[in-house]
């Protein structure tokens, strides 16, 4: 009986060796096919002149090049997988990632390919003007799905050459068809516990006291509670616990955005609205005005220390924090900012719209106001000064070869409003603040008194400077609508001297000369 078993065993060994040989042959054929596809694609790409004949702009060419690199990295990844299976050594695959949205198998890709996919996604969102409406994650998934469709067509031999337009085109169509949300986004705020009747509109932004809001939304909240059924969390109950420490809400109407991006747009618009209040009253009165999710002070605190005799001593502090404003708080804001109501409302609408800030006029102001809100929420004095001077640099776009002088000069011209005394004060204040800022960021340091003095002196002129640059930017946009930061900087340089003396002349379409500021 041993012979038949031995014979069968030999047969099995022979069969196994034959099967292994066939498997190696299949792997080799797959490697050859993949390499041939890559070589053919490169050849077709070079001979067809596709890169030169594309009708897309340079940015869309960048999308095409990025997608072609994704394709090449995908083929390299498939070759890597084939070798790993053949050698039964998978240690080389640990760095691979999954292509988001890819349908089916073979969704692994080298990090270089995933980076190219991200580049293509970012450029397409920018090209379509949706980078503030749709997340980069969603765009990558749309491209991944379209890429898998193109790969499937090539694998099934329906075509022989990878075409990036057949990836970007369907992805963009899916992007435009994507369902997005319209809604009002409610951000709790520590604002003014004593102000019970606040209900102020700044464009799409409403600052409203907590009780007024809860009364207004009573029915909707009750309905939300009634819908709660275990084992689902009690969302309304959790929210009611969360808002206990807050006294106001900032409600922002945002349309046509993915929820994730809508919250970002809402917060930008909300912080901008609070900035108008912060710069009107100053840091001393508004330092505790903060939105939920920011640098919030502890609701209550307690301290322990021991005296020289070993006695335990305690102190406590608790809220409500916020400002000491009463219900008339908006009167001062209206006095100082009322003349700019239309500009502020329009800019708040731009922020809340979620639309792309492709115009540098809007992008510069958005960044400057972001830095201002961060400065007023910053718990460290020295970083607060750094953020505020950076905000002024975002507005002024000073000349690179003389930043301090140029920054001081432009802020004086924008905030001086034909008042030479005021302009000189701004000029010297900005120079001093920039010196202290430089000492901080370059490690030399500055005393607490120097930092505090520089900040509060600078803050005195903040409204005048912001208002000046806002008018100047609006006028430049109407007169020449620059499409790049470099062109905006040139327009600002050309017009700002004349703006000090006559905004009307400086912002005219045909302004062909500059006036001396005599500063």
* 255 pLDDT higher than 70: yes
Of 509 and 4, the structure prediction assigns the larger pLDDT to 509
Give percent of the chain with pLDDT exceeding 70.
Answer: 83
* pLDDT number for residue 169: 94
What are the Cα distances from residue 355, in Å, to 146, 362, 373, 471, 474? 25, 11, 21, 21, 18
pLDDT-based confidence at residue 312 (cuts at 50, 70, 90)? confident
* 193 pLDDT higher than 80: yes
What does pTM read for this prediction? 0.80
- Greatest CA separation for the chain: 116
* 22 pLDDT higher than 60: no
Nearest 10 degrees: Cα torsion 234, 235, 239, 241: 10
CB-based contacts of 30, cutoff 8 Å, min separation 6: 78, 82
Question: What tokens appear for 384 in the block?
Answer: 């607060």
What are the Cα distances from residue 500, in Å, to 93, 416, 418, 491? 63, 7, 5, 15
pLDDT-based confidence at residue 10 (cuts at 50, 70, 90)? very low
- Angstrom distance (rounded) from CA 409 to CA 513: 18
- Angstrom distance (rounded) from CA 200 to CA 238: 27
- Angstrom distance (rounded) from CA 264 to CA 258: 10
SS3 content of the chain, % helix, strand, coil (to 5): 65, 10, 25
Give percent of the chain with pLDDT exceeding 90.
Answer: 58
pLDDT-based confidence at residue 47 (cuts at 50, 70, 90)? very low
The residues facing 302 across adjacent strands are 316
- Angstrom distance (rounded) from CA 215 to CA 40: 69
State the DSSP H helix or E strand holding residue 377, giving kind and residue range, or none if neither. helix 360-377
* 309 pLDDT higher than 70: yes
Number of C-beta neighbours around residue 139 at 10 A: 28
Provide mean pLDDT across the span 298-320.
77
Mapped to the 3 state alphabet, what secondary structure does 272-309 carry? Answer: HHHHHHHHHHCHHHHCCCEECCCCCCCCEEEEEEECCC
Q: What three-state secondary structure class fits 253? A: strand
pLDDT-based confidence at residue 56 (cuts at 50, 70, 90)? very low
pLDDT-based confidence at residue 318 (cuts at 50, 70, 90)? confident
Number of C-beta neighbours around residue 22 at 10 A: 10
- Angstrom distance (rounded) from CA 418 to CA 412: 10
Provide mean pLDDT across the span 243-249.
93
Q: DSSP states of 449-515 as a string?
A: HHHHHHHHHHHHTHHHHHHHHHHHHHHHHHHT--SSHHHHHHHHHHHHHHHHH-HHHHTSTT-----
> Is the distance from CB of 123 to CB of 3 less than 8 angstroms?
no
- Angstrom distance (rounded) from CA 302 to CA 323: 21
pLDDT-based confidence at residue 6 (cuts at 50, 70, 90)? very low
Nearest Cα neighbor of 253 from 349, 326, 175 is 349
pLDDT, mean over the chain: 84
pLDDT tens profile 146-170: 999 999 988 887 777 899 999 999 9
- Angstrom distance (rounded) from CA 74 to CA 460: 58
The residues facing 254 across adjacent strands are 183
What are the Cα distances from residue 286, in Å, to 324, 458, 498? 9, 16, 35
Provide mean pLDDT across the span 17-40.
54
């Amino acid at each position: 009986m041993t012979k038949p078993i031995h014979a069968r065993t030999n047969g099995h060994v022979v069969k196994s060796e034959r099967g292994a040989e066939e498997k190696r042959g299949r792997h080799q054929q797959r490697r050859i096919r993949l390499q041939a596809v890559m070589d053919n694609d490169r050849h077709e790409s070079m001979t067809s002149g596709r890169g030169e004949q594309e009708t897309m702009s340079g940015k869309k060419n960048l999308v095409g090049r990025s997608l072609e690199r994704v394709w090449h990295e995908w083929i390299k990844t498939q070759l890597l997988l084939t070798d790993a299976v053949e050698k039964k050594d998978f240690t080389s695959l640990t760095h691979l990632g999954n292509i988001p949205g890819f349908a089916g198998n073979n969704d692994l890709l080298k990090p270089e390919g995933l980076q190219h996919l991200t580049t293509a996604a970012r450029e397409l969102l920018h090209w379509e003007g949706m980078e503030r409406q749709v997340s980069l994650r969603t765009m990558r998934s749309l491209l991944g799905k379209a890429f898998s469709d193109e790969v499937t067509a090539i694998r099934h031999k329906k075509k022989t050459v990878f075409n990036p337009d057949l990836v970007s085109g369907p992805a963009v169509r899916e992007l435009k068809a994507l369902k997005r949300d319209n809604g009002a986004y409610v951000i709790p705020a520590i604002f003014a516990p004593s102000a019970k009747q606040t209900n102020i509109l700044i464009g799409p932004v409403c600052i409203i006291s907590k009780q007024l809001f809860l009364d207004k939304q009573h029915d909707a909240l009750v309905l939300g509670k009634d819908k709660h059924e275990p084992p689902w969390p009690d969302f309304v109950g959790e929210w009611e616990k969360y808002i206990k420490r807050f006294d106001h809400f900032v409600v922002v109407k945002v349309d046509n955005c993915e929820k994730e991006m809508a919250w970002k747009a809402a917060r930008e618009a909300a912080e901008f609205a609070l900035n108008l209040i912060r710069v009107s009253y100053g840091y001393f009165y508004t330092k505790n005005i903060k939105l939920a999710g920011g640098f919030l002070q502890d609701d209550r605190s307690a301290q322990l220390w021991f005296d020289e005799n070993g006695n335990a001593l305690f102190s406590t502090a608790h809220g409500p924090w916020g400002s000491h404003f009463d219900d008339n708080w908006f009167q001062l804001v209206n006095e100082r900012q009322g003349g700019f109501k239309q500009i502020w409302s329009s800019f708040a609408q731009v922020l809340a719209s979620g639309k792309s800030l492709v115009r540098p006029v809007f992008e510069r102001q958005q960044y400057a106001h972001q830095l201002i809100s961060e400065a007023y929420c910053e718990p460290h004095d020295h970083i607060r000064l750094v953020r505020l001077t950076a905000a002024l640099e975002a507005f002024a776009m000073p000349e690179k070869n003389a930043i301090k002088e140029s920054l001081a000069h432009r802020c004086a011209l924008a905030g001086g409003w034909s008042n030479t005394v005021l302009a000189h004060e701004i000029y010297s204040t900005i120079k001093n603040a920039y010196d202290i800022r430089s000492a901080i960021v370059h490690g030399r340091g500055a005393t607490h008194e120097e930092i505090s003095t520089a900040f509060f002196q600078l803050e005195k002129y903040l409204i005048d400077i912001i208002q000046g640059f806002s008018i100047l930017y609006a006028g430049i946009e109407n007169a020449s609508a620059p499409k790049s930061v470099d062109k905006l900087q040139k327009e600002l340089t050309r017009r700002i001297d004349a703006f000090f003396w006559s905004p009307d002349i400086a912002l005219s379409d045909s302004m062909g000369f500059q006036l001396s500021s005599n500063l």
